Chain A
């Protein structure tokens, strides 16, 4: 009844090619917009806004990684390094040339895209595990370079401070301001990705993932599309890094080490490889998980453990649950949270009937 697909007729090509042609979609978008733009910022405490801010940034990164790993099937463990490339590019431009954020952001993204293409070049020759290891090497080499080239890293501390982003003299300083700033970019990234995967390029990516030899036969230049996938994914990563920089007010490569790359891989696997909604759900899940575990343990854990042990148990449990969930999703539901959502949605498709 809600998700009615029948009885929907379009009269123009444009209407038919819209992102969400069903009437319910319109209402959903309006409801979400009202929720995120009006209700949440006005009612919720800053602490929760700060969590949402972290989630928005993670969404951008996860979308980028999913384009590369989920849609194009190229494994990459170097996502964190591309973020740091974007972060330092933007920070250097902002501090040395005084450029505003709407110039440094795309610049950071483009620089990351360039490095991404270079790191992705082995993908033209190797696949699977070998590519994963090559990207791992890329991650470590980029880290080393930033650490050792003071011109990039800004000195021994390897931290570059940036001012808060400002637009026409209005500075985005508080969590509330940054909420809108980051919401804008998260929505932009989501819409861009949705359109990308429906386009010719997106279909080419999927072809490369599924049957690359057949794809080459029908005329898709898999070299070009693989490098393009790396470039686009790294662009997202670079933008994500720049957003982190503006959010924290500082660029520091120690924020973007290997563990971050693995976190983002976990996000897209738990969320669902090859889907936009999956990236979003995965980003939310992985960001909230440590917080949820801590809250859960604070309330319930007191029953089982003394307060001294608790602190150790909480942190150990967090890692343990994180790993356990990855394995759980891989074994039980390989298509991740996205599939769970689709199950619910297909239930409501024919509700109140059962089939």
Chain B
């Protein structure tokens, strides 16, 4: 009863039990520190958003990000004005940091959907406190990734030719080209993740609508809350929609990076042309995604004092996932050597030799250190449970995954079949400005998100409380 007084009824989410009678053992184990009530959760999370004064730390961070975005716009102007020549690409190496960064970002954009969809379907309740955050991250990563394919031709005004639309030329795009598959894969992924994220937000938007004091803010949240009242009917539909979307986006987690990997696997270039690229890339993506979640969650957790909601258990689980996916990635690296040596194909063999001993050997060694060695720390609980070490490892992986794409793209292209046309690739200042710019864009969006939307799903957190269970039992008793 007490609960009812404190919280409006419509904010009390019926538990899974109510919706579907499930055996006891499926009941989630609480993954929120004791001593919290519906009210305290709601207050804590919603005040982060609704409080009047913006924390100084936020302002500083946001401004920095904004500067980076400024840099990005300058770079884009240069690119569109002068052409892709401002980058370091050349004749052997047609793709450079533009595609490296694209793949890097897309990879990062995987954790979100994975956490939200797959863990949801697997009823991994611990996902709750991080899924909202991870989904947001996914969206913004995909946004940053999207920049590159759109701009890497230097003439974005032709991009629409890649879409199959009826035209006066009587032409269709080349459906055999992996780039066309990319267009569909990425755009679908972006749309679905956005939907998924938004639907997940609706109940919380309603909460904020009700808690906001300023009428305009009320209106703003209200508009997006789509008149959510939290009636059982709403909840019922909501559950279905959410599960549906989860089911829909699950295959996407696998498909997107599979198709991105086709950009390389379908080509015949040594170092690209390998059948195991899809699983290798997907694993790498999850690896990168979780690393980024950690990179963001650990500071955010400190800054917004969310230790109670994002507990060690979460961090530790993510550490375990890092270890698992990291091992898959390392296995892939090993397999490349196996293929190269076992096939006896001189091009493959040389490609590997060149990776290890060629001009880019430093990159290759660094890659092994970052993605191979660093995650091994995660075997030990000591490191898994230390935010510091988790953060360090996560950073290593972020860098490592970028290096991986560098090793795959320019380091394979620069010495391919005919030694006469071998060359070198060096990123220019504009390559880097684009990279920094896209990072800026990512953080800019992220900062806005934590300021105006609840970065932890309020209503889902509530279901994690013992009260939620207790309360349902009461109801059931009547």
The reply to whether chain A is a binding partner of chain B is: no
Residues of B in contact with A (beta carbons under 8 Å apart): none
Residues of A in contact with B (beta carbons under 8 Å apart): none
